[in-house]
Structure 1
């Protein structure tokens, strides 16, 4: 594949150089000078007739690329000095131009501003809208408008959980280093552009896209217009999040996201139409070359569409010039040009998937066709393309999305042709016809909408089959390389196995003696037979290697005998992930959640896709950690900051048992949560003081609150005040003790201590030798401080009874409740108890092995062990 293809070799080596520079950032000697010196050395060496120069020049190309990336990345810094502006950050004035399309969603407007000074620095701006009139005003702001605004300057938030989304890194790859938060549209002054710029051209494109989007809203039902806008012109703001999730679960998001498929369909329709209208070959090829860049601009110019558009233009030009073209050369040349223009494309998932799948199809489909026992060329090509695309995209898909549906192959094979051959061209034709004659456009759109309804029903039904949804932890780069290597070995073995001995010419062997040609034929048959035998030998090994790679990726820590307790940073709320060391059982305690207050008349503030802890944070984290199912979901109580994120968990991850306090809070969200659990076949279990859950030989949960069922009527009670009913339990894991307390308050603490004391006295005086219901107090290794460190709990008596070695407080950064309270912090400090806080430390991860607890935190990079100091 690489021999005699220098562009292929250079592009692969250049990409490898970028990867090294990105992975080993901070190497001081990598710079543009390094690139220049390596380039001079490579040219000089190539001109010398010495052995091994190809390998050395290849290594120099890698160095050149690494230096180029390091120089580019090193210049991506802010021109503002954080120390110099710290005093004026609360009243920061920014003057510049709006550099992208303004997104208005509910009570928030977001856009990017490019400063008007010589530095031309970009700022991410978020405006909190205070009234409906301000919302209407914000919708008039456009790209290229001059703007002066005043707000609070701050650095973007970093990832607060291990493997979590890093917004700071995300913005940095867009050359943005600062956020400006503005309160009220009155702090924003805009004016029309005073001179022409490229932003003015993009402004016109925004207007055109908006016009097309408005046309789709007039043609299609509200439930479909967002989907059609995303699929046809790349406007994704209005697509239903639940619908997008359904497509994502089936691996069909490439239908929604503009990609090479859309360019191919656009070109096919355009060329077919011009041929039917009698255009000459030269005319329709030139017209297509002009139309493709316009289509790329109108659909948003994402990396995948840029790649497809550049390839299409190069292919059209080669056809116009009647020159031979090499598909692999073309795609890698496009990739190299894009990486030279913007090295950060390499970290873009759209860029990665687009190029990997395209290269895979170019290289793999011919081999797949040879292995397909199908005579029909059309069916063989369709099946080969679908299978190869699935195999090639699989590692990148699970790396970023951590899920794969076993129905994905069938869904792509059946549904993609319908969308691509009917919905996309039909919707486009209906849109443009509507600009000429609206009734005809609506009639065509109605037909498309009916087909869409059937397609959406199929997607919705298939996405609900949890049996076919698989969850994969994020794989390592070494595994991804190994995956492609073993698949290459498998395909090679299958091709060898397909060899046969019929390739020789039997007629040449007639006669008493073999002719020279007959001898060659016999040798050829012998070679084919040997190759086939080699294929038979390699095939079982290759199959076993592929299966082994997949099994390892699905559960890489199957044999790790280590307990895990992760206090996930979900903001102002609780969520604790526990995995037992022996059985690898998964326990999730609470799921965080966002507390929202809705008042009548404020419906305009509602956002189409609001931030939801479960869907945006908790579920992705659990999937990244390879949680295929949750054995025990413990709901300590039913306040929003503890159960808000669990709705998404129940919808996307199988749950076996849900343990709760035996009460129900009169709240629509709570009712929906329990209804979803019942609909998914989750067993509901009430737990009370005295109950014991034996997870495995090393892990046991002793429930200590609420009161035992014998103290109540035994039924499910309606309880509005949930803090006093929090589930409290003591977990014993490999000899370590963990006290998890929910949002219990002082009265509950007193009752627990009284119950323990009564049980101790009963045990001492009883004659039947019955074991105690409750464990005794005494030192615990870790105390989860109740109610986010509120002063209403964690009393002196409670701390003196348990004497924890560590205390963990799950609390939101900049929360408005004043948590944790200084009184609680003082009580812990007086007893010398180290405190770990999610607002200061981010996620707190603890592991248990051989009775020793090791701790690490996301933000402060500290590692500790039980009873000791931070380790070196």
Structure 2
């Protein structure tokens, strides 16, 4: 601790981050910029006068200064349109924006997207309202293929007049879902503008003059030129991978490849970071040494090269951190000053947080600094521990770096990505040295030679492609070992704090043990005092046991929760219902889906990574909620808005059984879904009216429709609604009826069947047929939910899964009227976002994501 106290900048940075963190979760409006300035002045006076107890008091004051600074910054992050928005609804207004491009234009299929720096806005029939350069995110739909070239020709800094529709970014509509509104706000953007066709934009090229915008424009053009040159140097299927690694451009990166690297914990390879900086500097220094340049000269050249390299590679928080640390270290080396890496890291972190406090919420910032801190503090000590078992210094060093980086990054990784592969350490230990020491330097060489003479670069690119093929083959094999994949729910902040506390405790005990064994510690974080001899081995066992217990609790935090939960996920116009039973079983009913309407000859409209509900929304939500496996997936019928998202679910999550309506709908997507089910050996259960199926001691399920049929025959059925699977769920003595998209004819048929076969229902249902919750069929369409259906089941609650502003007019006014006349409480996903109904001993409790 004494050694740590000698690093005041490190302590100050930690206290500054503490103040920011408190400001994120609390609000003290009296703490403003002026208050922070007064607190800072008091801190300086107290420290200068050396008053007693000044250290804890100054620490508290510094936390207050940081709190006020963050709160002042956050309060200023509002739209210039806020006064107007408080007086009238601006969402959906037709407007004209005047300003300039503030980002490169990205053209993907039939969409061009960019950020606009808006100087003014004009509503119909009004004068222009000043915006003062406010950032607006623009999505421009391209109507013809020729418009792609027009949009691609627009450049950062060009003057722009754009007509379109103003919209407010959508907040998260599901619990734990991606909050686009918050994401844009953290980038100081509060409005979206959507437009159709390039004729809605009048663009005037910017005048060539030296300015920050012009420098960024030149940087965009250079990145674009390098990207095009890499398309010539590397094979098409690998160009995106090399662009991501060399210049931080991810637009052409294969989404499947990114997913593969993500599951193996290798995404840091695809993100420009300290590894790239180290290799880049190593190559530059090696070349300049060969040219016999003096040390002071090549260090100075490297210092000047780094800012350009940071800009060239996209200036993400991780590369900014690594670049700034390298600049400071190079300057210290050139001046002959003593280098303290912890101090350098703290200076860089503090500077970045002063520049933009929202960096604290950026995952790349968090992982970059955490891993760097872990490597600085822990690698040497872990390396000393491994001395007894690993004789090779190279293997020992690689193992130490891999272990420390994995341990340090683990809680942040599962918080954001909700997965961890037990093979991640192996993938990192084997592939990172190969990529960092061979692929990356050779890629830089190929790029440099390719700029001068394409065939020369292409020859090296061909050699690299052979090594890349080996790397991809290895990652393919490792990824398909599903038994080593672990899905983790997002942990709470207290859980993360306890994790790091246990880690620090274990580190301190191991450090003390090494000291007693004769080792010398470079940095002491924990010091055990006292005259009594402490049995450190027992303390170490207790600390490791506590960490393992914490991991066990974090892996399944709901294991002792005996309430049931039915979650009607908002997937837009479609159904996706997740059921968690009191004993932790998980049932997924339908998976939503994205409807696409594409005419022949419109292949140019297809995007590289189109939005797909299962991949982008459903699977991340399931992982975030700690669904390790799905005990049963029910596909009520095979229309796209119910089946489309299941392809991603089946591909990425373990599924024990799959219940469907016993038919097949013609189409490539359904064929692919069932091929995946067969390949993963998931049992297929054609639905048929059945007796009760026990799910757990408090939950059982009964299929009511389709009625009796020959399960040996699979029919081809194009119109699926009338063949929807209907089932009754009983959970903790509550009853739920799930109906898919069944129609009125099916409702009548089922009611008549149940009246003729009363033995199918249990004793209580025979008497009054009353259920607690009805999932309204077909999104509230007028083709179902008849008066007879409601009279038969007498539900207390009704839930309608329906997309907002859908083109079908769902839910139908007649259906809503019937539900109201029967005094049924209605919950709708289009108005309320996700609907959750929790079953406790006392009854059913509801909560919704969006409150009126």
Which TM bucket (shorter chain)? over 0.9
Q: Which residue of 1 aligns with 2:363?
A: 349
Q: Choose the corresponding residue for 1:744, options 742, 745, 768.
A: 742
Quick one: structure 1 residues 291 and 424, their matched pair in 2 at CA, closer, same or farther if it must change by over 3 Å? same
Q: Deviations over 1:72-104 (max 9, x none)?
A: 000000111215564795320001000001111
- How far apart are 1:584 and its partner, in Å? 1.2
Q: Does residue 15 of structure 1 match 2:6? A: no
Point out where structure 2 has 5 or more consecutive residues left out of the alignment.
Answer: 121-129, 521-528
- How far apart are 1:529 and its partner, in Å? 13
Quick one: structure 1 residues 713 and 254, their matched pair in 2 at CA, closer, same or farther if it must change by over 3 Å? closer
- 1: CA distance, partners of 2:90 / 2:407: 54
Point out where structure 1 has 5 or more consecutive residues left out of the alignment.
Answer: 505-526, 764-769, 862-872
- 2: CA distance, partners of 1:489 / 1:7: 23
After TM superposition, list the pairs within 5 Å mapping 1:305-704 onto structure 2: 305-373=319-387, 374-498=390-514, 534-581=535-582, 583-704=583-704
Structure 2 residue matching 1:258: 3-state secondary structure: coil
Q: Does residue 107 of structure 1 match 2:120? A: no
Q: Which residue of 1 aligns with 2:126?
A: none
Quick one: structure 1 residues 528 and 28, their matched pair in 2 at CA, closer, same or farther if it must change by over 3 Å? closer
- 2: CA distance, partners of 1:725 / 1:378: 63
Structure 2 residue matching 1:123: 3-state secondary structure: strand
Structure 2 residue matching 1:666: 3-state secondary structure: coil
Contact 2:662–2:711 under 8 Å retained in 1: no
Q: Which residue of 1 aligns with 2:803?
A: 812
Structure 1 residue matching 2:344: 3-state secondary structure: helix
Q: Which residue of 2 aligns with 1:514?
A: none
Q: Does residue 778 of structure 1 match 2:769? A: yes
Structure 2 residue matching 1:569: 3-state secondary structure: coil
- 2: CA distance, partners of 1:683 / 1:221: 40
- 2: CA distance, partners of 1:682 / 1:543: 38
Quick one: structure 1 residues 495 and 10, their matched pair in 2 at CA, closer, same or farther if it must change by over 3 Å? closer
Q: Which residue of 2 aligns with 1:854?
A: 845
- 2: CA distance, partners of 1:774 / 1:449: 66
Q: Deviations over 1:556-586 (max 9, x none)?
A: 11111110100000111000000110x3111
- 1: CA distance, partners of 2:475 / 2:90: 54
Tell me which moved more, 342-351 or 482-491: 482-491
- 2: CA distance, partners of 1:35 / 1:693: 63
- 2: CA distance, partners of 1:530 / 1:435: 69
Q: Choose the corresponding residue for 1:206, options 213, 216, 220.
A: 220
- 2: CA distance, partners of 1:426 / 1:584: 50
- 1: CA distance, partners of 2:202 / 2:673: 45
Number of corresponding residues: 828
Quick one: structure 1 residues 195 and 84, their matched pair in 2 at CA, closer, same or farther if it must change by over 3 Å? farther
Q: Choose the corresponding residue for 2:275, options 252, 261, 267.
A: 261
Q: Deviations over 1:742-790 (max 9, x none)?
A: 0000011011101100002x78xxxxxx989996762211110000011
- 2: CA distance, partners of 1:502 / 1:738: 67
Quick one: structure 1 residues 606 and 3, their matched pair in 2 at CA, closer, same or farther if it must change by over 3 Å? same
Select the structure of larger CA radius of gyration: 1
Q: Deviations over 1:275-316 (max 9, x none)?
A: 112111111111100111110000000000000000010000
Q: Deviations over 1:803-840 (max 9, x none)?
A: 11111000011111111111111111111212111010
Contact 2:166–2:191 under 8 Å retained in 1: yes
Q: Which residue of 2 aligns with 1:67?
A: 68
Structure 2 residue matching 1:351: 3-state secondary structure: helix
Q: Does residue 825 of structure 1 match 2:819? A: no
Contact 1:500–1:528 under 8 Å retained in 2: no
Structure 1 residue matching 2:166: 3-state secondary structure: strand
Contact 1:734–1:851 under 8 Å retained in 2: no
Contact 1:148–1:188 under 8 Å retained in 2: yes
Q: Which residue of 2 aligns with 1:755?
A: 753
Q: Which residue of 2 aligns with 1:725?
A: 723
- How far apart are 1:503 and its partner, in Å? 9.3
Contact 1:660–1:687 under 8 Å retained in 2: yes
- How far apart are 1:691 and its partner, in Å? 4.1
Q: Which residue of 2 aligns with 1:172?
A: 185
Contact 1:92–1:151 under 8 Å retained in 2: yes
Contact 1:579–1:586 under 8 Å retained in 2: yes
- How far apart are 1:721 and its partner, in Å? 1.1
- How far apart are 1:133 and its partner, in Å? 1.4
Structure 2 residue matching 1:47: 3-state secondary structure: helix
Tell me which moved more, 194-203 or 56-65: 194-203
Q: Deviations over 1:132-163 (max 9, x none)?
A: 11122111111111100000011100000001
- 1: CA distance, partners of 2:517 / 2:228: 65
Structure 1 residue matching 2:599: 3-state secondary structure: coil
- 2: CA distance, partners of 1:775 / 1:495: 70
- 1: CA distance, partners of 2:594 / 2:471: 34
Structure 1 residue matching 2:133: 3-state secondary structure: coil
Report the RMSD for the aligned CA atoms in angstroms: 2.0
- How far apart are 1:500 and its partner, in Å? 5.1
Structure 2 residue matching 1:372: 3-state secondary structure: helix
Contact 1:433–1:440 under 8 Å retained in 2: yes
Q: Deviations over 1:698-755 (max 9, x none)?
A: 111111101123xx46411111111111000111111111111000000110111011
Q: Which residue of 2 aligns with 1:157?
A: 170
Q: Deviations over 1:295-353 (max 9, x none)?
A: 00000000000000000100000000010010000001100000000001000001000
Q: Which residue of 1 aligns with 2:523?
A: none
Structure 1 residue matching 2:368: 3-state secondary structure: helix
Contact 1:704–1:774 under 8 Å retained in 2: no
Quick one: structure 1 residues 772 and 49, their matched pair in 2 at CA, closer, same or farther if it must change by over 3 Å? closer
